[in-house]
Amino acid sequence: MNKWYLITIWLIVGISCLRAQNIEFSKDNFEDRAKLRDAMKEIKWGDQYYEMGGLTGYTKALYYYKNANSFNPDNIELNMKMAFCCLKAFHRTEALHYLEHARSLNGDYTPKIAWMKGKAYQFIIEPDSAITEYKRYFTLVKDTASSETVQKIEKKIEECEYIKELIKTPRNVKIENVGSIVNSRFAEYCPLISADESIMIFTSRRNNTTGGEIDPESGDYYEDLYITSRNDDGEWGNPQNMGEPVNTYYHDATVGLSPDGQELLIYNDDEGNGNIYRCELMGSEWSMPEKLNDNINSEHHEPSACFSFDGRTLYFVSDKPGGLGGRDIYFSKKDSEGNWGPAQNLGAPINTAGDEDAVFLHPDGVTLYFSSNGHKTVGGYDIFKASFEEGKWQQPQNIGYPLNTPDEDVFFVLSASGEHGYYASVRDDSYGSLDLYMVTFLKDSTIKEEEPNLTLLTGFIKDEDTQKPVEARIEIIDNEENMVVAVFRSNSKTGKYLVSLPSGKNYGINVSSENYLFHSENVDIKDTTGYQEVRKDIELKRMEVGKSIVLKNIFFDYDKATLKEESFAELEKLRKLLEEFESVQIEVSGHTDSRGNDDYNLKLSQQRATAVVMYLIDHGIDGSRLIAKGAGETQPIAPNENPDGSDNPEGRALNRRTEFKIISK
């Protein structure tokens, strides 16, 4: 017999003998019975946490299984359990190690090994390897596979093909951990931000949770809400547990935050199904959470919600019957008495036969972000974006890679500027399990970037004389429609206010507080304005003789004294003030810029002042309380010309004004 043939046979036999075989945890395989007892004890503890499930359960189970594995690394069942725990606890590369070892112990692939390897490769974004394993799985089960199983395999392969497509054109973003000051060894998730990114509220399961109790189902501490503020250098401060009454002894989680950060929606795990509550920032203290009415909360599950920019519409998620799929997005409008009206399903193309969740409406009022597993995804939930155009929601778009991954991508929020997004993820630089991350959308000169079309108006409202903060009511008026579109208030402790104004409208801003003259601003935002931040500090004047204010939303036809309809909302505010203070007498004065001759300007300004007075008289104000006075160009409040003699359009606009002054009380 050929000696080389014999050598080959001997090598094959030798390799076969060296191949590891499955070793059971039994007396026959353990000479040291004490070690066997220790190993079985570790497995027993691991099994208890394995059955518990959840991130904490699988993480703790993996710890005990590894202890048992140190006694016997060649047990198929234990390797499979460790691989499953690794998949659930975000250790996907490690899962592949245990799966490959289980395959070698078994001698070949089993359907379960092929399926789990496919998932592991998909999670670590090696789609070609994942497709190979999913196809292997199909080959192993095709003779007995149900139609549902075939569909599941096809969907997984479709997800892998889709991420290959998205990777070709990744989003130009930078993803950064928000840091160890905010993140901890515990899970942080569901971040909410004010429109200006000055505050962030999030959910965490830390050991300083209110009540200090542990959820018996998950082994984690109960969820609580935490809050942190951002300084001028962009650094987040040490998060504080929001405490009672926001947090209770059970699950309390973030849901939605108004753009100004003063109205908070929270989830409370009460009544066995969970409901949405609302609370309000009163100075520096949060009010007692109030459960939203039955048009929002039901006997089913409502896990997520958000406010519209004006606070008049609530978008929320529910799995109640009658939807298009499992969880759907609904909306409800606030009525004149402040109650939420009947909910309406947002319908297609937003909702699908799958699940939608984690809804967030951008402060521009027309861009919706949400998570879905019913639209085309790269695995599990992906984040989608949809725009409201021509009276309807457009087809949602996947926001792309690397924001979306084969993991569950949920709870994404975006700053008013569109520059920063925030979400929770597990990445290589995580401090614990889930951490909070900031996404910076980088500019690319070769691509026309989408920019939010809105103006963020912010500042502080103070007393003119004392400079102390004033809590004031802020009405946003659509001057063209002559209607109040939103009402906000400044913080009673700081005087800060923040208002989001979508582009394409002429807004009147009316600020009022008890015993003060109201203050008005005009913000005319063109469709093409894009994003801008306007800082405007406002000093309110006491209701005293000699005090005067400019009525910035009084408009006349060009070169005429005919009041435009856009003026009526402001005139109504003045009329109501005079009705409230019945003894007050005022002088209404008209002013022009320096164009035209003096006599003409004086005459025009007198006619305009008279037009305002006549409106008030026609609407029930005693004429004896009103004086009309034309000042022409004699009392400018800004230069009509620049120092070099050129025209100053901004100064001229300020000089063309209508004022009123209190002349007696």
How many domains, in total, are found in the chain? Answer: 4
Residue 44 lies in a domain: yes
Residue 6 lies in a domain: no
Q: What is the CATH number of the domain that holds 459?
A: 2.60.40.10
Give the Cα separation of 579 and 249 in Å (integer). 50
Residue-level pLDDT at 272: 67
Residue-level pLDDT at 637: 87
Residue 139 lies in a domain: yes
| Domain shared by 83 and 213, yes or no | no
Q: Is 283 exposed, middle or buried (0-12, 13-18, 19+ CB in 10 A)?
A: exposed
Range of the domain at 519: 453-542
Residue 197 CA, chain-centre distance (Å), reads 11
Query: Can you spell out the DSSP letters for 569-584?
Result: HHHHHHHHHHHHSTT-
Q: What is the pLDDT of residues 369-386, one digit of tens each?
A: 999 999 999 998 999 999
Residue-level pLDDT at 570: 92
| Domain shared by 90 and 25, yes or no | yes
Residue 63 lies in a domain: yes
Residue-level pLDDT at 271: 66
Residue type, 121: Y
Q: DSSP character for 394? A: P
Residue-level pLDDT at 16: 39
| Domain shared by 559 and 468, yes or no | no
Residue 447 lies in a domain: no
Q: What is the CATH number of the domain that holds 312?
A: 2.120.10.30
Q: Is 637 exposed, middle or buried (0-12, 13-18, 19+ CB in 10 A)?
A: exposed
Residue-level pLDDT at 20: 66
pTM to 2 decimal places: 0.88
CB atoms within 10 A of CB 643: 7
Residue-level pLDDT at 273: 76
Residue-level pLDDT at 213: 86
Question: Pick from 542, 576, 604: which residue ends a domain?
Answer: 542
| Domain shared by 387 and 488, yes or no | no
At CA 477, angle to CA 528 and CA 546, rounded to 5?
115
For the chain, residues with pLDDT lower than 70 are 1-20, 271-272, 444-450
Residue 7 lies in a domain: no
| Domain shared by 557 and 637, yes or no | yes
Give the Cα separation of 658 and 204 in Å (integer). 53
Give the Cα separation of 171 and 441 in Å (integer). 8
Q: Helix 76-88 crosses helix 54-71 at what angle (to 10 degrees)?
A: 150
Residue-level pLDDT at 216: 81
| Domain shared by 633 and 495, yes or no | no
At CA 382, angle to CA 380 and CA 387, rounded to 5?
150
Residue-level pLDDT at 7: 40
| Domain shared by 553 and 413, yes or no | no
User: Hey, which bits of 91-196 come out as E strands?
Assistant: 173-177, 188-193
| Domain shared by 426 and 574, yes or no | no
Q: What is the CATH number of the domain that holds 112?
A: 1.25.40.10
Question: Pick from 125, 150, 168: which residue ends a domain?
Answer: 168
Taking every pair of Cα atoms in the chain, the longest distance, rounded to a whole number of angstroms, is: 131
User: Which two structure tokens, joined as six digits, stand for 294?
Assistant: 């039955």
Give the Cα separation of 319 and 302 in Å (integer). 7
CB 265 within 8 A of CB 287: no
CB atoms within 10 A of CB 431: 16
CB atoms within 10 A of CB 100: 15
Q: What is the CATH number of the domain that holds 606?
A: 3.30.1330.60
Residue 590 lies in a domain: yes
Question: Pick from 519, 542, 565: which residue ends a domain?
Answer: 542
Residues ≥6 apart with Cβ < 8 Å to 381: 355, 357, 358, 371, 372, 373, 408, 409, 410
Give the Cα separation of 370 and 384 in Å (integer). 5
Residue-level pLDDT at 270: 76
Give the Cα separation of 289 and 248 in Å (integer). 10
| Domain shared by 402 and 324, yes or no | yes
| HSE-CB of 79 using CA atoms within 13 angstroms | 23
| Domain shared by 155 and 228, yes or no | no
Residue-level pLDDT at 3: 45
Residue 232 lies in a domain: yes
Q: What is the pLDDT of residues 115-167, one digit of tens each?
A: 999 999 999 999 999 999 999 999 999 999 999 999 999 999 999 999 999 99
| Domain shared by 459 and 432, yes or no | no
CB 351 within 8 A of CB 329: yes
User: Which two structure tokens, joined as six digits, stand for 505?
Assistant: 């409208």
| Domain shared by 280 and 294, yes or no | yes
